[in-house]
Amino acid sequence: MRRYNGKFSESKRDESDLTRKSTQLSASGGCDRAIRKSSPPVKTWANVTILYYLTGYWHCTVVWEYVAPLCFLTLDRITMKYDIVLTLLLCASQVTAQAATPCLDDVDACLADFRNRLIDNNYFWYGKSRYPECGGSFFCINDRSDLTSVMARVLVTNDSSSLQAAVSNIQVLNVTFLQRATKYFACDMTIQVPAETPTTIDPLQPTLLPQILIQHQPQVTWTPRTSQTLYTFIFYDTSYFFLHSFFVNCNGGSLDGCEVVRPWLGTSPVFLINSPYIFMVVRPWLGTSPVFLINSPYIFMVFEQKSRVPIAIAQQATQETAAEGLIGSTSPSGVFYISVLTEKLNAYLNTNVQFANIMEMYSDPYGSFRLTNFFNTVDQCPLFYSQLPAFHSAVRLMQVQNPKWSSPAFGFSQLAVAPFLTSITVNVHVTYDTEDFSEEACCKQFQLTRGTHMVSALDTRPVWAAVTRHAPRVFLSPVQLMGPGAGRNGIAALLYTLVAVDLTPALTSNTTGTNLTVHWLVVNIFGSDFATGLELVPYSAPTPTNANEPISLMFLLLAHSTPVDPRTLKLLCPEEPMMCQLRVSDLISVMGLEDIAGVNWVQVEEDGYSIKRQYTEMGKSEQEVCKGRDGYAQPCPAQQPGSAIGQFGLGYPYLTAQCTAVVLALYYFGAEL
């Protein structure tokens, strides 16, 4: 198994897994570590870069530029080849107004900066100068846009003297996350997450954390005033005024032995913005909840108690605070004000925060999985697809006019994620169903066992060409599941066109405006009902002709307000539609297509099916295609080792059947023999 020191690592492709693809995602490290090791001290950090793995080396490419790259690694053009390893969403840089001493290096030196950050009115996405960038979007819910700093949202006040007093004695809370090995299914693929080294939160040098890392309760410690002093811990979403965790009666300077008012349930991102979280001690661990593509700031806080808090009293205060927050709130979950909760419990605890820490978290496939399946709010996977370096490159090479990228500065504080297409409203699910298949090509027998392959742009591993030999099933689902105009009704009255093109020539030459082969064109799809579309170019299977260069087949969904006239295809492809080659920009302009509404792609590599097809359907001779291939001779030897593709197989159907029968007999009847 290959393992890379980065955000993403990948195991060797297992041909037998056609039904589910498996990817390893590292929860922390990668470019952030590379930056820390190789970057010189700077007062202002800028630039957002994307990290990818190509031909044995890590690379960074600048997505948009403010000053200079942070990752001092080799720059290279973005491609979609097999040996690129996806690093979800980032190698993110920091954008800070001034130098700050990392708290992990020197706690005393960092305290002043940390306390100032807690009352900074412009630092996070809901700040005075940043919130207007959200543009009133449903995904930028802000019940109190007048509260623009972390502590103002905790105390629900803008009184400067009160805020200064509240942070004057705050100490840094120690928070460390441990990543356990796990796997989950999201974005139409199985993602494996390996165990990671501990990640300690530094409030002044924060690392953007993925959702999956926050699923288990962290280690939280502080220095108690005395061995008998009790404390309350709270974990709070300052973006959406949501209480995630609440513990009381903590003794000994840690969460061990605390009484739980709300248990830890994991994270559930709501937006793709950096949202600051604060750690306080008052409720059990619930995790975080960002929902769009803005990094979410959270705060961890610890309060000193005057006496033991009766658990029933804490539960009642929590319920009352939540109920009161539903009145007049624009958020579906209401607002939970910490100041109201602490006031209800002021007989038992001091209302001043004693220890605190801040972290930011970005959404990842795990967060999208929870949002889609548990909260039914938004499906972020298509937005992730549009953030990938390969797609940014594809949009440029296809010369798509005026793509609606998110603003580089949108919703970010000191950390950022790659731009995504704000025009994407549909998830394009592509599924290939494969029957048993065998083929002899170049004196070698190839076999494919029936299975199902779900396409995900997050999976960089190619599939065999035989898997894609028949037209896939396409299912369209909305990205926005909650709110005005959400769900299937939100896209029901719209028209879409799906085009599948081979991007390989453009990517290989890195040339804009290249004519691309159209493998499928379906126009006038009404809403989410793909069956209503009119097929102008029938599906044709991609046929890789180079064993070392898979084909990149992209499914592009384009919205349009008026129906496409089928006759316009003649203007683009005067010859037989099956041989249609065109520039995507011409397709969009001639047919009156508009924004990119959805995207997905798959990489297809050479196999026996594509090899045989080259000399039976594409005008090449068998000798031309097979010369130099392992095992090829004329005439073919009596037996050649085969390649088994699919769930099982030995390369010889009869032998495989015999072995299978023996294994099954031993399994079912062995106990009686």
Confidence of residue 91 (pLDDT cuts 50, 70, 90): very low
Q: What is the pLDDT of residue 224?
A: 95
CA angle, corner 351, sides to 350 and 352, nearest 5?
95
Highest-scoring range by mean pLDDT, 57-66, 141-150, 525-534: 525-534
Confidence of residue 668 (pLDDT cuts 50, 70, 90): very low
Structural domains in the chain, sorted by start: 426-608 (3.90.280.10)
Confidence of residue 659 (pLDDT cuts 50, 70, 90): low
Listed in sequence order, the residues at least 6 apart from 183 whose beta carbon sits closer than 8 Å to its beta carbon are 22, 190, 191, 192, 193
Q: Could you tell me which of 27, 32, 37 has the C-alpha nearest to residue 198?
A: 27
Give the mean pLDDT of 92-105: 49
- Length of the chain in terms of residues written: 673
Mind listing the pLDDT tens digit for each residue in 580-635?
A: 899 999 999 999 999 999 999 999 999 999 999 999 988 899 989 998 888 888 88
Tokens encoding 650: 């030995």
Task: Give the CA count within 13 Å in the CB-facing half-sphere of 252.
Answer: 5
Task: Give the CA count within 13 Å in the CB-facing half-sphere of 464.
Answer: 28
Burial group, residue 635, by CB count within 10 angstroms (0-12, 13-18, 19+):
exposed
Q: For residue 666, what is the DSSP state?
A: H
Q: Could you tell me which of 120, 46, 93, 103 has the C-alpha nearest to residue 276?
A: 120
Q: What is the pLDDT of residue 140?
A: 63
Mind listing the pLDDT tens digit for each residue in 176-224?
A: 988 788 888 989 998 888 887 888 888 887 666 777 777 788 999 999 9
Lowest mean pLDDT segment, chosen from 103-117, 410-424, 514-528: 410-424
Percent of the chain with pLDDT over 70: 69
Highest-scoring range by mean pLDDT, 107-111, 344-348, 422-426: 344-348
Q: What is the pLDDT of residue 116?
A: 92
Calpha distance 313→321 (Å, rounded): 12
Give the mean pLDDT of 509-519: 91
Strand order in the sheet with 182-186: 8-9, 22-25, 189-193, 182-186
Give the mean pLDDT of 506-511: 88
Q: What is the pLDDT of residue 102?
A: 76
| Bridge partners (DSSP) listed for residue 234 | 246, 301
Burial group, residue 483, by CB count within 10 angstroms (0-12, 13-18, 19+):
middle
Average pLDDT over all residues of the chain = 74
Lowest mean pLDDT segment, chosen from 85-89, 223-227, 362-366, 590-594: 85-89
Give the mean pLDDT of 300-326: 94
